[in-house]
A and B are shown apart, each in its own frame.
Chain A
Amino acid sequence: QVRLVQSGGGVVHPGRSLRLSCAASGFNFKRTAMHWVRQAPGKGLEWVAVISYDGRTDYYGDSVRGRLTVSRDNSRDTTFLQMKNLRHDDTAVYYCVRDVGYQLDFWGQGTQVTVSS
């Protein structure tokens, strides 16, 4: 069955870095674009980033562009979200999400990132 297992969250100080991972199984990861979506405490969903199936193309939300970088390793069926220069307002649950063609149809379990001094 489809699985997206996330790891790498935690508590970090402002200005520090963190890398999130999302390991996929149960589908053809190498042919699938992957997104990241986040949700701040008590708030709505915010789209963060996407990476194409081959890793050649990526796009970012306005609030994270230049600080967050999405990547993937198709040999390990894993996508990553590198987060640098973290701010308090980056505190959120981060989800990786599968894209099967204009459909974000399967979401990882989410990982908590807390930026706190």
Chain B
Amino acid sequence: IQLTQSPPYLSASPGDRVTITCRASQDVNRYLAWYQQKPGQVPKLLIYGASKLQSGVPSRFSGSGSGTDFTLTISGLQSEDFATYYCEQVNEYPHSFGGGTKVDIK
């Protein structure tokens, strides 16, 4: 299953609302996760099951979608949110990741 993230790069300002999309080449139900990775750090799970917030993740992060189209929204971007974000389908093996979306400071 191919996952296409858009946009690949995004410039935004603190306080902005940011939306990242992930499109799957076939139905993955709601078995989609989102990760955040900062430079030099290990990826961190943000969202699983398309819309369930991982414990400890701020509520400004939200996920939605099902089937083939998904979104990650950050409501009120904060300085610590500048990072690269990846989606992953966990519906079937082999799992696959999207190409990533780098969010940097405008």
Contact = CB atoms under 8 A, between A and B. Distances in A.
B42 A109 contact: yes
Interface of B: 31, 33, 35, 37, 42-45, 48-49, 54, 84, 86, 88, 90, 93-100
A44 B33 contact: no
A49 B84 CA distance: 23
A45 B49 contact: no
Interface string A84-110: 000000000001000000111101111
15 contacts: A44-B86, A45-B88, A47-B95, A47-B96, A59-B93, A62-B94, A95-B42, A102-B31, A102-B49, A103-B33, A103-B90, A104-B90, A105-B54, A108-B42, A109-B42
Contact of B97 (A46, A50, A103): A46
A105 to B, nearest CB: 5
A47 B49 contact: no
A28 B89 CA distance: 25
Given A47-B88, A50-B93, 19 more contacts: A35-B95, A37-B43, A37-B97, A44-B86, A45-B37, A45-B86, A45-B88, A47-B94, A47-B96, A50-B95, A61-B94, A103-B33, A103-B45, A104-B88, A104-B90, A105-B48, A107-B42, A109-B42, A110-B42
Nearest to B98: A44
A50 B90 CA distance: 11
A60 interface: yes
Give the interface residue-count category, chain A.
Answer: 20 to 34
B94 A60 contact: yes
Closest 5 CB pairs of A and B: A59-B93, A47-B95, A44-B100, A103-B48, A45-B97
